[in-house]
C-alpha cells in the first residue's frame, strides 16, 4: 500500500428494513455464504439494479472506491442520509461491509458519537487507560501522555468522576483529547465536535491540523460546517444517496456540494479533476523601480487568474496592510460589475485608482479569489506584492496620518480576457 493509509475498493453496505431476516434460514445462509465469497446474492431479482433496494432492503453505501494518503486531512460532506456516518463506521471496523474491501495501514482512533468507547461507570482517568489499552498501548506510555490529555480536555476538576455524570460537552472534550493524544495513525471524527463550544471546536481543529502536519497522522473529518471543513481539510469526499459524487480539492468539492441538485443523478458524469481556479500572478503597473508608489498619484494593481471552468459569481477582493499587520482598506471586485471568469480561460484583472493617499511606509497585499454564491474561497494569498509609498516634493505637506484608511477617488475597474 506504500504511502496509502486508507483504501476502499467497491465498498457497499446494505441494511434490512423492518425485518431481521428473509424468513427462511436456508436462504439467509445461502446469501451470507455468497457475499462472503464475493459473489452475487443468489436471491436477488434478475435484471434489477441491485442498489435500488426494495421494501425490505436499503443500500446505505453503493460501490465506493477511494484512496487516502498518510498525513492527508480529508473532509467528508453531504446531506443527512448521504452515507457519511455509515462509511466512518466501516472504516472504524464497528460494522463490516456487505460488499467490497477496506485496507487500513496503522491504528485507528474514532470519535463517532458522544460516549463512544467510554464505560459509563468508570471515571474519566480510568477511561483514558481503557482506551489506551484498546489501542495496544502500554501503561507506561499512557502515563507519559495522561497529563497532556487531561490538560487539553480542560476538565481536570472532574477527571476522577464517573463519566456517566458528565455533560455532553465534557464527554466530547475528554473523548477528543483521548483520541488525539493516544498513539494512533488515523483519526476519524464525526459531527460530534459540534456538541462542543466554539472555543473548543477551534482548539480541536487546530490540534487535528497539527497531528497531520507535525506528526504525519491521517485525519478524516465529517461536518456540516463548511467553514470548519475549509479550514482543516485539503481534500474532501462528497456523498449523496450512498454514492461517492466527488473526491477532490476541498474548495472544488464544496462548490459542487452547494450546486448539487438532489433530483439529478449527477454522479454518472462527475468531473473529478484536481484543477481549480488560481491566482497565478499579482503585480503593479508603475514607472518607479522597486514597486514604489507615488503618494497622490494613480495606482494600478494587476491580478492574473487561471480559471478552468465557468464561475457564475466570481469575486476578487484584496486588502492593503501595513507592516504592523493593520488593515488599511478592503476592496471587493464582483464579476457582475465587470464580467470576468464567467467562461473558462485566463484573465488579467486591472484595478486602477486615480489617486491613492497613504502615509509614506511599506505595505503588502492579501488577495482572495472566491465564489460569492457560497462565500467560499478558491484561493487566498497573504503578505504578497510588497510596495512602498513615497511622497515627492510637491506633495510633501499633503499626506494622511499613519494607520488611517486609504483615500481612493473614482474607482475604475478594467478586465481583459487574454485567452
The set of cell numbers assigned to 324 is 504592523
Q: Give the strand pairing for 243-249 and 235-240.
A: antiparallel
Domain locations in the chain? 69-261, 278-417
Give the range among 21-30, 51-60, 175-184, 319-328 with minimum mean pLDDT: 21-30
Average pLDDT value for residue range 74-93? 88
Model-wide pTM > 0.75: no
Question: Could you report the per-residue pLDDT of 120-141, keeping only the tens digit for each?
Answer: 889 989 988 988 887 777 888 8
pLDDT at 223: 84
Place domain 278-417 in its CATH homologous superfamily: Immunoglobulins (2.60.40.10)
pLDDT at 56: 67
Between the alpha carbon of residue 168 and those of residues 190, 196, 215, 369, the distances in Å are 15, 8, 29, 39
Q: Residue 380: name the closest of 289, 279, 302, 286 by CA.
A: 279
Average pLDDT value for residue range 360-373? 80
Question: Could you report the per-residue pLDDT of 191-220, keeping only the tens digit for each?
Answer: 766 666 677 777 888 888 888 888 888 999
Mean pLDDT, rounded, of the chain: 76
What's the CA gap between 394 and 332, in Å, rounded? Answer: 32
What's the CA gap between 325 and 247, in Å, rounded? Answer: 36
pLDDT at 374: 58
Q: Residue 240: name the closest of 74, 18, 87 by CA.
A: 87
CATH number given to 69-261: 3.40.50.300
Quick one: 139 exposed, middle or buried, by C-beta within 10 A (0-12, 13-18, 19+)? exposed
Question: Could you report the per-residue pLDDT of 233-285, keeping only the tens digit for each?
Answer: 888 999 988 899 889 888 778 777 766 643 343 333 333 333 567 888 888 88
Amino acid at each position: 500500500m506504500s504511502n496509502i493509509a486508507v483504501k476502499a475498493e467497491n465498498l457497499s453496505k446494505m441494511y434490512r428494513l423492518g425485518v431481521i431476516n428473509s424468513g427462511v434460514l436456508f436462504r439467509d445462509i445461502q446469501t451470507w455464504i455468497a457475499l462472503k465469497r464475493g459473489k452475487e446474492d443468489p436471491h436477488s431479482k434478475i435484471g434489477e439494479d441491485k442498489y435500488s433496494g426494495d421494501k425490505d432492503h436499503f443500500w446505505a453505501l453503493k460501490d465506493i472506491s477511494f484512496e487516502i494518503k498518510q498525513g492527508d486531512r480529508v473532509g467528508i460532506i453531504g446531506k443527512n442520509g448521504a452515507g457519511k456516518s455509515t462509511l466512518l463506521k466501516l472504516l472504524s471496523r464497528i460494522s463490516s461491509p456487505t460488499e467490497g474491501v477496506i485496507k487500513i495501514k496503522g491504528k485507528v482512533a474514532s470519535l463517532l458519537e458522544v460516549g463512544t468507547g467510554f464505560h459509563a461507570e468508570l471515571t474519566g482517568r480510568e477511561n483514558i487507560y481503557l482506551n489506551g489499552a484498546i489501542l495496544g498501548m502500554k501503561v507506561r506510555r499512557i502515563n507519559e501522555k495522561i497529563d497532556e490529555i487531561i490538560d487539553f480536555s480542560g476538565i481536570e476538576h472532574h477527571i476522577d468522576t464517573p463519566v456517566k455524570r458528565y455533560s455532553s460537552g465534557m464527554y466530547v472534550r475528554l473523548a477528543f483529547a483521548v483520541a488525539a493524544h493516544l498513539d494512533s495513525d488515523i483519526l476519524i471524527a464525526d459531527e460530534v465536535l459540534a456538541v462542543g463550544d466554539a472555543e473548543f471546536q477551534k482548539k480541536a481543529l487546530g490540534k487535528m491540523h497539527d497531528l497531520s502536519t507535525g506528526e504525519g497522522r491521517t485525519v478524516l473529518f465529517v461536518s456540516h460546517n463548511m467553514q470548519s471543513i475549509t479550514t482543516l481539510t485539503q481534500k474532501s469526499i462528497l456523498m449523496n444517496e450512498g454514492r461517492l459524487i466527488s473526491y477532490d480539492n476541498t474548495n472544488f468539492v464544496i462548490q459542487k456540494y452547494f450546486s448539487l441538485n438532489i433530483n439529478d443523478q449527477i454522479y454518472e458524469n462527475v468531473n473529478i479533476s484536481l484543477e481549480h481556479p488560481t491566482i497565478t500572478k499579482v503585480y503593479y503597473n508603475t514607472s518607479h523601480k522597486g514597486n514604489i508608489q507615488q503618494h497622490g498619484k494613480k495606482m494600478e494593481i494587476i491580478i492574473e487568474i487561471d480559471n478552468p471552468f465557468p464561475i457564475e459569481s466570481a469575486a476578487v477582493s484584496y486588502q492593503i496592510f501595513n507592516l504592523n499587520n493593520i488593515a488599511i482598506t478592503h476592496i471587493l471586485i464582483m464579476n457582475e460589475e465587470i464580467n470576468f471568469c464567467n467562461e473558462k480561460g485566463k484573465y488579467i484583472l486591472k484595478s486602477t485608482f486615480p489617486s491613492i493617499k497613504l502615509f509614506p511606509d511599506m505595505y503588502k497585499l492579501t488577495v482572495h479569489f472566491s465564489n460569492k454564491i457560497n462565500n467560499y474561497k478558491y484561493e487566498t494569498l497573504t503578505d504578497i506584492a510588497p510596495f512602498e509609498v513615497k511622497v515627492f516634493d510637491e506633495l510633501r505637506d499633503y499626506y494622511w496620518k499613519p494607520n488611517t484608511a486609504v483615500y481612493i477617488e473614482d474607482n475604475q475597474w478594467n478586465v481583459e480576457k487574454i485567452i
